[in-house]
Amino acid sequence: MISVVLHGELQQFGAKRREVDGAGKSAREIVTSLGIPAAETAAYVVNGEQVDDAAVLRDGDTLELLPAMTGGESEGALAGIRVVDLTWALAGPYCTLMLADHGADVVKVEIPGVGDESREWAPPHIKGVSAYYLAVNRNKRSVTSDLKHPDGKRILERLVEKADVVVENFSPGVLARLGFPDERLRSMNRRAVICHISGFGQDGPGRAWAAYDLVVQGMGGIMSLTGEPGREPVMVGVPQADMVGGMFAAFAIVAALEARHRTGEGQVIDATMIGGQVALLSRQAARYFADGTVPRPEGNMHASIVPYQTFRAADGFVNVCCANNALFERLCRALDLEDLLEDSRFADNPSRVKHRDALVPRIEARIATLPKAEVVRKLREANVPVGPISDLREVFSDPVVRHLGLIAEVDHPVAGRFKAPGIPVRLSGTPGSVRRYPPLLGEHTDEVLAEIGYSLDEIAKLRTDGAI
């Protein structure tokens, strides 16, 4: 008999654990026999090791099935919240992606014939569709409207009148010059939350400065801390200044919506990329404020904890973190380095920090003899914090990543079925879901205009006149 364990969303197909007569059958054959569509299963794990679907099971094996995140019908925590999305590129669209993933109705307003500039950011592309655009625009509806055209302005007015949230990331002052300063937006809809996202704020000395991720990473201090000692500064390998700015903006929007329950009114949010970067400085800022020391790049080691760093294994790299004596003792025993426990230089963390140059090479030499999977296995069995440094192929085949639904799959009418990072948090009562593919430019213009009161003839005239 084979023990089959269903994880996450796959439990809709039956009990979490069951015994089946599957010896001699492949993992795929067992899944099919249980009535589970192959596309719903993201990964197969036999006796704790990930395998492909052709693996043949033996009597007594345990087969764990991990779900693929392919969509959902959940309304989400923000169901009923209407968002007018006047954003482009990344910081703004990432903010509205977070709202959309949790159920908000996000209407993405784009320039007719052009759209969000990230639609053109390729390669890479999937069948001619920008992979960059696809990654951050699911769950939204697209409307085209020329905000310089009088009739295009009236469309935005109607959208704002019915909105709970308006988000924009034009350069500061552009929306006002188009005829929509904050006072006017608020007079049109006192309940709407107005969120501006920019590099350096809507007023003050930086309001006119152009802001791209690399620029803000540098100005916000992150790059001064990243990289190897004595080497040139290094940017973080993802556009995190954009993404963190969008995340803080989404948080602020949800906070403002909660405040509206008490006050009955919306408010104006000034969210900045630089603000997100300064917030991330955390312990390094604490060091600076404590004694005036300006932290410098330290590579992958921790200035105050030893060992807490990256080590080279025989076939890759691992990160090991020992923040107290108990962890250090378990590390030494797991790696057959018990003699280190008898050395007074390593008796406690301050001593280990002082004698880092004597301790670290011993650990390095031992780990270098082992494959990274073996290092991880030994230290996890000893309950020592450890993990491999994974490339993206390894990340997206990791059973934990699969189990948590961190890969989203959706069918697009042009790109076909594609994958993107999934929703990073799980809510028990109102989970987020992937309900819509990233929209084609203007795909929902007629649908949305009808919802705000335009007739078919009026929509046709708007199109003829170039307003949409």
Domains in the chain, number: 3
Instruction: Identify whether residues 176 and 142 lie together within a single domain.
Output: yes
Instruction: Identify whether residues 88 and 192 lie together within a single domain.
Output: yes
The values of phi and psi at residue 236, to 5°, are -65, 145
Q: Which of 67, 90, 124 is the last residue of a domain?
A: 67
Instruction: Identify whether residues 122 and 92 lie together within a single domain.
Output: yes
What is the rounded CA–CA span in Å between residue 59 and residue 73? 38
Q: Where are the beta strands (DSSP E) in 232-333?
A: 268-272, 308-313, 316-321
Q: Which residues of the chain have pLDDT under 50?
A: 69-70
CATH (domain of 97): 3.40.50.10540
Question: Residue 69 corresponds to which tokens in the numbers above?
Answer: 């995140």
Q: pLDDT tens-digit profile of 430-463? A: 999 999 999 999 999 999 999 999 999 999 999 9
Question: Residue 389 corresponds to which tokens in the numbers above?
Answer: 């440094």
Instruction: Identify whether residues 178 and 267 lie together within a single domain.
Output: yes
Catalytic one of 61, 116, 213, 242 = 242
Query: Is 134:428 a contact under the CB 8 Å cutoff?
Result: no
Domain range spanning residue 370?
308-390
What is the pLDDT at residue 54? 86
What is the pLDDT at residue 8? 65
pTM: 0.85
Instruction: Identify whether residues 124 and 186 lie together within a single domain.
Output: yes
User: Around Cβ 270, how many Cβ atoms within 10 Å?
Assistant: 17
Tally of CA atoms within 13 A in the half-sphere of 370 that contains its CB: 19
Instruction: Identify whether residues 183 and 210 lie together within a single domain.
Output: yes
What is the pLDDT at residue 181? 98
Q: Is 21 a catalytic residue?
A: no
Q: Which of 67, 100, 122 is the last residue of a domain?
A: 67
Residue 409 lies inside a defined structural domain of this protein = no
What is the pLDDT at residue 69? 47
Question: Residue 302 corresponds to which tokens in the numbers above?
Answer: 């921790």
Give me the amino acid identity at 458.
E
